[in-house]
């Protein structure tokens, strides 16, 4: 694992350890984040840790053509009164993702510094949010990074109502033309929607 001074370049991702941890240190500047995503690297750390940079192998991704939507979910999306929007309230979505309680996690990796860093990316057009509203209430959503290369790098999602985050994810994929959705690391939730592991080298070829 490598320590990054503010102006240091990232080491080759092949030097990441078995869990995908590549480096620590550096700052969450816009340029650092853009450089990271272009090289298949993402930050993931907690409040009491330095910035940790990851590039796991294999990589967990979803090909939009392989999206799996169950019959019950299709019926839910046809009949529910939820409204799905894009980039309506990025800050609210990332803040709700930070506040969401998750099994097996005592805290969140979405620190206040992370929120401000990704809001800056959003303001520059590099980060997107998907919102799910029930009336005027924000009940679900997700956010991620889009470098304009046909790959959406998903970061986090939240749900305050059953199926709200699934509705956000499915609707977003069905109404965009991405060639690949980067899900980063394995979760049962995303695996049920068709995400799978691919070699890191193959993932990098899409960037």
Q: What is the pLDDT along the chain (207 residues), one digit of tens a residue?
A: 799 998 899 999 999 999 999 999 989 999 999 999 999 999 998 877 889 999 999 999 999 999 999 999 999 999 988 999 999 999 999 999 999 875 544 445 788 889 999 999 999 999 999 999 999 999 999 999 999 999 999 999 999 999 999 999 999 999 999 999 999 989 998 999 999 999 999 999 999
**pLDDT computed for residue 110 by the predictor:** 86
Do 49 and 61 contact (CB within 8 A), yes or no?
Answer: no
Do 82 and 141 contact (CB within 8 A), yes or no?
Answer: no
Task: Give the CA distances from residue 145 to residues 30, 42, 74, 107, 118, in Å, rounded to whole numbers and listed in that order.
Answer: 12, 10, 27, 22, 9
Q: How many residues does the chain have?
A: 207
**pLDDT computed for residue 105 by the predictor:** 47
**pLDDT computed for residue 102 by the predictor:** 56
**pLDDT computed for residue 107 by the predictor:** 46
Distance CA 48, CA 124 (A): 28
Distance CA 75, CA 175 (A): 18
User: What is the radius of gyration, based on Cα positions, of the chain?
Assistant: 17
Q: Tokens standing for 72? A: 């019950």
């Amino acid at each position: 694992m490598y320590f990054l001074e503010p102006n240091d370049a990232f080491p080759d991702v092949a030097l990441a350890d078995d869990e995908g941890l590549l480096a620590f240190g550096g700052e969450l500047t816009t340029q650092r984040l853009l450089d990271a995503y272009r090289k298949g690297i993402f930050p993931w750390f907690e409040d009491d840790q330095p910035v940790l940079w990851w590039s796991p192998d294999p990589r967990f991704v979803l090909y939009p053509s392989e999206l799996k939507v169950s019959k019950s979910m299709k019926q839910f999306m046809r009949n529910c009164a939820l409204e799905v929007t894009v980039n309506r309230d990025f800050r609210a979505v990332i803040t709700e993702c930070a506040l969401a309680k998750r099994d097996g996690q005592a805290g969140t990796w979405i620190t206040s510094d992370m929120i401000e860093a990704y809001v800056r990316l959003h303001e520059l057009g590099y980060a997107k949010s998907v919102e799910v509203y029930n009336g005027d209430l924000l009940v679900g959503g997700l956010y991620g990074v889009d470098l304009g290369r046909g790959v959406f790098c998903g970061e986090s999602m939240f749900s305050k109502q059953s199926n709200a985050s699934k509705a956000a994810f499915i609707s977003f994929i069905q109404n965009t033309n991405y060639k690949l959705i980067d899900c980063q690391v394995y979760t049962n939730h995303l695996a049920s929607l068709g995400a799978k592991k691919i070699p890191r080298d193959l993932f990098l070829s899409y960037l």
